[in-house]
Each structure stands twice: as structure tokens, then as C-alpha cells.
Amino acid sequence: MKVKSFYKSIGWILFLSFTFMVIPGLTLSKPSKTTREKSNISSSPVKRKLPIEERQSSGQQGPLQLDARSALLMDALTGEVLFEQNSREKIPPASFVKVLTLYLVLDAIKGGQLKMDELVTVSEKAWRTQGSKMFIKVGERVKVEDLIKGVAIASGNDACIALAEYLAGSEEVFVTRINEKAKMIGMKDSHFRNSHGLPAEGQVTTALDMAILAKRYIEDHPEALSFHSTTEFEYNGIRQGNRNTLLYKNIGVDGLKTGHIEESGYHLLATAKRDGQRMIAVVMGCDRMTKRANEAQKLLEYGFKNFSTLVAIKRDQPFGPIRVKRGKARQLILIPEEEGRVTVAKGKENSISMVPEIPSYVIAPIQKGQILGKVLIQKEGKEVKRINLIASSGIEKSLLPSWPVLGAMGGGVVLILVVGFWWFQRRKRRRA
């Protein structure tokens, strides 16, 4: 009976010790609450940020009236639409398609599948292509770099086909890739049938889609602007000037592409940079070549005059520190995943504020770059952008249990020793 009582006592002691060890662990494993720190702003509900292609309503129509079928102005650094006029109307793109052709070519170079000095053999199909030309010849071997210049500067349809056939085996396969790329970057209302933009049934785009394309193209391949900003190109003894006449005006324009077919009129996709700002202007369906340049310039001037692009959150801006549990380090600094830029009307720069949402603590292990919080950027109390906050460094899990667990384990051991000592002393006295 005494032995049974001893084992029963030990069982209860072990049960209580196990409970002391597990309960603190369960408490620590609960997700931490997120804390908000609001700065310079009144309380207001948070609204979902709309993607670029859904935010055209933020554009203004009142101050400007453009003599164009469709138009749009976008801040290239934030993606915010600042003006729009029939920006979703589907119009044949003409040579606007060539931006996508160059996009895929530069993707291939960046990915190592193509080199600037590779030689491309010109096919008869490329040579026979009508419209604007680079004037390459059948059977001629042309450097990829020269073909890129032929597309970007001289708007050569023949150069487009030569590049398309070399990269994909045929223009048809290349066009499939063009449409896949367009869909991937968010060009929802566009469809393409060739690599150069000559009239083709069902080939359409919109001013909004072209602005989305231009923004992504410049971000992924800023080196492309060195081609698009070149004012003339000579090949086979034929010198041709860039048809983007805004390049000659010294107003900060360094791209991007012109276009024209009888069916749709004159287009211009222009981008300019001034004092740390970059604007994208799209004008489609003008009735004269000079008008597309004038209307695009009007858009750019309107953007630079009336709007500021602010860096609300710097890329290396620290947030925290926050507590780390079960880790080899006790604290962790969070940093933004990207720079947070926003566009505001001039004179309203103070309307921008940010609301960090960070946890009160995190539990190790933590990987460097792991998303642990976010910052809401607000304009006049409305959310316009959100930036993820990531771990600035990795933290390994500590090999030692946390202090509550150690305390419970120690207490359990002490309790066992005390009870055991008491039981043996009691047994000894009874025998005596």
C-alpha cells in the first residue's frame, strides 16, 4: 500500500510539472497582437489600394481638354493616374506594339538567352515587310544591338520580324509570347496580332494599357531609354531621325515610341524626367503628326507643374525594435520591403502620413527578409499604398528553453526532491 501511495504521489507531481512546462509554451505560441502607431492623421477606415489599371478615376479632366481620341497621364514612379480622357477606348496600336517586342528582346538579354553582339540572319519575310524600315537585306547578318536601334529609333518593321523570328523561330510564336507578357503585366484590354503594329484584325490597345506597359518596361529595363532617346540612326548608308519630336525640345523627354496607321491616326507614348520626377504621357488618335507632340507635351507640363512625387518611406527606414521570443537575439529591427512613393497635388505635401502596423513581439526562428508587418501610407486620411515590413536580419532559435519553461522545469525538479525527501524521512521514522 505504501509503495502504491508513493507511485501515486510521484504521478501527481509529474503531472503538475508537465502542466507547468506546457502552459507557458502554449501562452508564448499565441500570435502576437499588431500595434498601430498613427502619425499626423485622424482616425479613418482603411481602404484597399487599387491596382494601377483600376485607379484611373483619380485622374482629372477639368483643367485639360486634349485634341486626341484618347489620352492619359501617369506618374511613372507611383503608377498614379493624374489625367485621363477615354483611356479605356480600344484603338489599333500601330507601332506601340514595338515596345512589347523590345521588352521581350531585352528580357532575353537580361536572362542570358541573347547577346547584343549576336548575329541575326535576315529572312525574306523580314525584308519584304512594308511600312517603316531599317532597310536590312535578305541573307544579311545583323547584330542584335543594331536591330534594337532599328526598332527603337527608326521604327523598323523589318527589324521587328528579324528579332521575332530569331528569338521564337517564327513571328507567330513570338506574338503568342507578346500577348502572354501583356497579360502578365496587367494590360487587360489589349490584344496583338504581329510584332510591328501594321493593321491586323482584332489588334487593339488602350491608353491605360500603354501607360502600364511603359511603367513596367522602364522599371525592368532602364537601359532601354538610351536607345529610345537617340535622335538618329544610320544603317546601310541610310540615316533616319527619331520620329518622337519631343526629344529635340530639351524638356526632359527621353522616350518612348510613336505610332501611326490610317485606321487609328497618330499616337505618341512619351516619358520625361525632371528633378527626380518621371511622367508618362499617352496620346492616341490625333489627326496630325504635330498635334500628337503638342498634346503629349501639354500633358507632361501639366503633370510637372501640378504634382509632386514624394518619398513617404525610405528603403532603409527602420521600424521598431520589436521583442523576439525564443531567439538568440532579444530585439529585431524591421525595414520596408520597398521605397514608398506617393503623388500629391502641389501644396498638399503635408497631407501624407503613415500608419505602421507591427507586432508587439515575434517568435524565433526569423529569416532575413521575412514579412512581419506593414505600413499604410495615407493621403488626406485615405489609404493610397501599403508597404510590407521585413526582418532586417535573421535570428536563430535559442537552444535553451524560455525562462518560464526553465522555471517550471526547475520547480518541478525541486518539488520532486522535496516530496521524495519527505516520503523517505517519513518511512524511516515509521520503521524506527
Q: Where are the domains of the chain?
A: 30-50+314-391, 60-307
Q: Dihedral of the CA atoms 416, 419, 425, 429 (nearest 10)?
A: -150
**155 carries an active-site annotation:** yes
Question: How far is it, in rounded angstroms, from Cα 92 to Cα 97?
Answer: 10
The C-alpha cell that represents 23 in the structure block: 502552459
**Side-chain-facing half-sphere of 182: CA atoms under 13 Å:** 28
The three three-digit cell numbers of residue 155, written as one number: 521604327
Task: Choose, from 17, 70, 95, 308, the residue flagged as catalytic.
Answer: 95
pLDDT (tens digit, 9 = 90+) per residue, 233-262?
A: 999 999 999 999 999 999 999 999 999 999
Average pLDDT by stretches of 10, the chain with 432 residues: 51 53 42 46 32 42 83 97 97 98 98 98 97 97 98 98 98 98 98 98 98 98 98 96 97 98 97 97 97 98 97 94 94 96 94 94 95 95 94 90 62 72 70 64
Task: Output Rg (C-alpha) for the chain, integer angstroms.
Answer: 33
CA distances from 407 to 26, 324, 362, 416, 421 (A): 15, 19, 21, 14, 21
pLDDT at 32: 47
**Which residue in the list 70, 98, 123, 257 is annotated as catalytic?**
98
Query: Which pLDDT score, from 0 to 100, does residue 88 have?
Result: 98
Identify the pLDDT of residue 415.
74
What's the N-to-C CA distance of the chain in angstroms?
19
Catalytic-residue membership of 98: yes
- The grid coordinates listed for 368 are 532575413
Strand 352-359 relative to strand 319-325, pairing? unpaired
Please give the Cα distance from 29 to 37 (Å, whole number). Answer: 24
What is the distance, to the nearest Å, from the Cα of residue 200 to the centroid of all Cα atoms in its chain? Answer: 32
Contact yes or no for 267/287 (Cβ under 8 A): no
Grid cell, residue 288, equals: 496630325
3.40.710.10, 3.10.105.10, 3.40.50.2300, 3.40.50.740: CATH of 60-307: 3.40.710.10
Q: Choose the catalytic residue: 17, 87, 155, 308.
A: 155
In this prediction, residue 403 carries a pLDDT of 59
The verdict on whether 8 is a catalytic residue reads no
The residue assigned the cell 485622424 is 42
What dotted CATH number matches 30-50+314-391?
2.60.410.10
